[in-house]
Amino acid sequence: MDKGVEPSRAVLALEGIVKTFPGVKALNGVSLDLHAGEVHAVCGENGAGKSTLMKVISGLYQADEGRILLDGQECHFVSTRESEAAGIAIIHQELNLVPHLSVAENIFLAREPRRGPFVDWRRLNGEAQALLRRLDVDIAPTAEVRRLSIAQCQMVEIAKALSLNARVLIMDEPTSSLTESETSVLFRIIHDLKRAGVGILYISHRLDEMAAIVDRVTVLRDGTYVSTRAFADTSVDQIVSDMVGRSLEEKFPPRTSRPTQEVLFRATGLARRGVFEDISFELRRGEILGFAGLMGAGRTEVARAIFGADALDAGRIEFDGRSLSIADPRDAIREGLAYLSEDRKGNGLAIKMTVAENMTMPSMDKVSGPLGFIRFGREQAVARDYIDKLAIKTPSARQVTRLLSGGNQQKIVIGKWLYRGSRVMIFDEPTRGIDVGAKFAIYTLLDALAAEGIGVILISSELPEILGVTDRIAVFHEGRIMATLDTPHTSQEEIMHYASGYGLAGGQHGSGATA
Q: In this structure, are residues 510 and 487 in contact, taking their beta carbons and an 8 Å threshold? A: no
Q: In this structure, are residues 42 and 12 in contact, taking their beta carbons and an 8 Å threshold? A: no
Q: How far is CA 400 from CA 67, 207, 269, in A?
A: 28, 30, 43
Is 25 inside a domain boundary? yes
Is 436 inside a domain boundary? yes
Q: How far is CA 279 from CA 25, 95, 101, 457, 460, in A?
A: 49, 31, 35, 14, 18
Residue 93 or 107, more confident: 107
- Residue type at position 53: L
List the helix and strand counts (H, then E) for the chain. 15, 23
Same domain, 225 and 289: no
Same domain, 82 and 213: yes
CA angle at residue 410 from 409 to 413, to 5 degrees?
A: 95
pLDDT at 114 over 50: yes
- Residue type at position 259: P
Is 318 inside a domain boundary? yes
Q: In this structure, are residues 443 and 468 in contact, taking their beta carbons and an 8 Å threshold? A: yes
Rounded Cα–Cα distance for residues 510 and 495 (Å) = 9
Q: 3-class secondary structure for 412-473?
A: HHHHHHHHHCCCEEEEECCCCCCCHHHHHHHHHHHHHHHHCCCEEEEECCCHHHHHHHCCEE
Which of 106, 99, 17 is CA-nearest to residue 58? 17
Q: What is the predicted pLDDT for the residue at 349?
A: 87
Q: What is the predicted pLDDT for the residue at 251?
A: 75
332, containing H or E segment: helix 329-335
Rounded Cα–Cα distance for residues 144 and 100 (Å) = 6
Q: What is the predicted pLDDT for the residue at 511?
A: 41
Quick: pLDDT tens for 185-214.
889 889 988 998 999 999 987 787 888 999
Of 414, 435, 466, the residue that ends a domain is 414
Q: What is the predicted pLDDT for the residue at 23?
A: 67
Is 236 inside a domain boundary? yes
Maximum mean pLDDT: which of 61-70, 179-188, 339-348, 462-471: 61-70
How would residue 413 be classed by pLDDT, with cut points 50, 70 and 90? confident
Same domain, 59 and 70: yes
Same domain, 137 and 282: no
| Residues 187, 41, 401, 440, CA torsion sign | positive
Is 404 inside a domain boundary? yes
Is 341 inside a domain boundary? no
Is 371 inside a domain boundary? yes
Q: How far is CA 258 from CA 286, 451, 471, in A?
A: 7, 8, 8
Rounded Cα–Cα distance for residues 422 and 50 (Å) = 34
Is 359 inside a domain boundary? yes
Of 165, 193, 224, the residue that ends a domain is 165
pLDDT at 39 over 90: yes
Q: In this structure, are residues 168 and 89 in contact, taking their beta carbons and an 8 Å threshold? A: yes
Same domain, 48 and 189: yes
Q: What is the predicted pLDDT for the residue at 515?
A: 40
Q: What is the predicted pLDDT for the residue at 430?
A: 85
How confident is the model over 71-91, as a mean pLDDT? 91
Same domain, 80 and 103: no
Same domain, 36 and 6: yes
Q: In this structure, are residues 329 and 308 in contact, taking their beta carbons and an 8 Å threshold? A: yes
Q: Where in the sequence is the domain holding 225, given as residue range(s)?
A: 1-87+166-178+185-245
Same domain, 360 and 492: no
Same domain, 189 and 77: yes
Same domain, 501 and 427: yes
Quick: pLDDT tens for 242-273.
887 755 556 788 888 889 999 999 999 999 99
Rounded Cα–Cα distance for residues 511 and 325 (Å) = 36
pLDDT at 53 over 70: yes
Same domain, 161 and 171: no
Q: What is the mean pLDDT of the chain?
A: 87
Compute the residue count for the chain.
Answer: 515
Of 377, 397, 414, the residue that ends a domain is 414
Same domain, 381 and 441: no
Number of domain units in the chain: 4
